[in-house]
Amino acid sequence: MRLSRGNVRGWGSLECGRVPLTELIIQYTAADVDVTVPALLIRINRLFRHTMTADELYEATRGTWKIGPRRQGARYAFSVFNGVVREVYAIESWHPAGTTEYVSRDAATLKRDRWEFLGRVAEAAVRDAYLGGSVALHFRQGRQSPTKYVNC
């Protein structure tokens, strides 16, 4: 039997299923933003939930990523879901994956040949410039990598 949208429960649920009204407003009103700061855009599409706490969003964004030395040039990490910036973090330091503590994620599931950062929510001037804006143009359709350097 061939599976398709019509006979697979949950198929396309983020696009076609129940979505909070606030999410629809965010998705359809997000204007493109011009990223002018040195940033690492991080798509968290697989980990994102509409009911995430601020701590869960931070932990989903901060690790663990297969990235190279260019990471040192990024001052900010943008948490991106469906092309929209959900939060902006100021990066304070980079660490090998699994070497810092997680509260909401199971450390045993983290891949060790990657990197994670420690940081904090960005200062208001930077955060307000990008939060809720669209960075979808930075991710070409079909691009597999969840990360993208901008101005680094």
Spans of all domains in the chain = 28-150
Q: What is the pLDDT of residue 40?
A: 98
| C-alpha–C-alpha distance, residues 4 and 103, integer Å | 37
pTM of the predicted protein model: 0.83
pLDDT one-digit tens code per residue, 15-30 = 556 778 888 888 888 8
Is domain 28-150 annotated with CATH 3.10.590? yes
- Residues (pLDDT < 70) of the chain are 1-17, 107-109
| C-alpha–C-alpha distance, residues 104 and 63, integer Å | 12
